Each structure stands twice: as C-alpha cells, then as structure tokens.
Amino acid sequence: MFIDIHNHLLPGVDDGVKKVEDTIKELKRYKEYGVSHVIFTPHINNPSVSNNIKEIKNTYIKLKKHIENETGIVTYLASELYLVPEYKEFIPFNDSFVLIEFPTRVFPVYTLDAIFNLQLEGYEVILVHVERYRWLFENKKLIQRMKEMNVYFQVNFEGINTEEGKFYLEKNLVDFLATDNHGTDNRKEVDLSLFSKYSNITKKAIEILEIKSPEKL
C-alpha cells in the first residue's frame, strides 16, 4: 500500500496531464505497482502556470468519483504552493499538510519566515523536490535549521540519483519520495517500481500523514 503525495495528474488544471483518460490510464498503472492512494497536487501561485483554486476544486469535485471508480485508487486534493510572503491561498492536505516549492535559482530571503508563518497557522510543511534547491544544498546550516523546525523533505523519483538527492537520502533527511508525475506528453514515463524499491521510505508516508492529520486517511 503506497501513496503518491505529489503529482500533476488532476487533468487540465496546470502543466500536468491534460485529459482525464490519461489520468485514468496512469492510475491503472499505479495500481499494478501497489499504489492505492494518490494526492493530486496542482501548482498554485507558480509564476509559469496560470490557474485558480476554484477551477481546481471544481475539476476535482467533478472527476473524483469517475476516476476512483475506474481505477480503484483513493484520491485526495491538495496543492503545490509556490511560497511567497503573504500569499494565503492554497489547498492543504486534510487541513494539515501544505506542500511548498520555492524558486530554484536564488535563495529566497523570506524562506524561514514564510515557513514559520504557515506553522504558526497550524500547518505541517512539506518542502517538495528538495533536491532542486542548490541554495539549500550548499547551506548545511539552513538544512539543519529547517529540520529543527520539523519541515518535511520530499525528493522526486527523478532526483534520487542526483548529487543532492543522494546526499539527502544518505543523511536520512528524506521523509517522502514522490513522483511529481506530469504525465507523458512532454516527459518520460515515471518508474513506479521505485515505490517498492525504496519501501523503507515510501512505507512511512502513510504513517506520517496519519499521525499528523486530525482525520485518518
């Protein structure tokens, strides 16, 4: 029983999958690899993606039953929030977890403040594709600070073998592995066997989400 906590498989709402048929096809493949739960995490506030929360929620409400009936996968809706100061709109997972991303090239000076503000509001923070931030990798004190703040780190499947990914894995700093699956229109197919290959990490995901969420999955 695995869960993919980060992907762009909710169709037609961001730069991910475009058609619901493709979502269904991909989720059937998930099922074959023992993935039983999926949290859709469309981009929100990302400068290169234009969409809005209402559209995302409506799409999910409209398609949830159909997708679940066709695939047997349990789905949830959250979002991947491009975090900037004072931006308040996002969809937390189970009212508890917020997935965040940052600009990749330069260190955003507001990083810790913005994370802390989310935590003050009662959210658990998951930093997605942590391996992409060279400014973080090169600042071990900042990594330590984030861990002291109990920020969860997520590495993408495609980042597992990068220099940064290997570092986070070796140091046991990875809480979640996820696909960040955008479909196969412009990208190659995700290797879903990695859920079992890294089951020492992927098995923990449901545990973490259940422990920290007010409601059970």
Residues that bind Fe ion (CB under 5 A): 80, 180
Minimum distance between the CB of residue 114 and Fe ion, rounded to whole angstroms?
18
User: Is 72 or 189 the residue whose CB approaches Fe ion more closely?
Assistant: 189
> Which residue from 182, 136, 123 is spatially nearest to 156, judged by alpha carbons?
182
Question: What is the closest distance, in whole angstroms, from the C-beta atom of residue 8 to Fe ion in the complex?
Answer: 6
Helix (H) or strand (E) segment spanning residue 77: strand 74-77
Residue 132 identity:
R
The least distance separating Fe ion from the CB of residue 7, rounded to whole angstroms, comes to 7
Q: What does the angle CA 77 – CA 210 – CA 152 come to, to the nearest 5 degrees? A: 75
Pick 100 or 214: Cβ nearer Fe ion: 100
Find the shortest distance in angstroms from Cβ 42 to Fe ion.
9
Beta bridge partners of 176: 154
Please say which residue, 131 or 180, places its beta carbon nearer to Fe ion. 180
The H or E element containing residue 2 is: strand 2-4
Minimal CB distance residue for Fe ion: 180
Write down the least CB distance from residue 149 to Fe ion, Å.
22
Query: Based on CB atoms, which residue is closest to Fe ion, 105 or 171?
Result: 105
Side by side, which strands form the sheet with 176-178? 43-44, 80-82, 97-101, 124-127, 152-156, 176-178
Instruction: Return d(Cα 100, Cα 203) in angstroms, integer.
Output: 22
- When the beta carbons of 154 and 202 are compared against Fe ion, the nearer one is 154
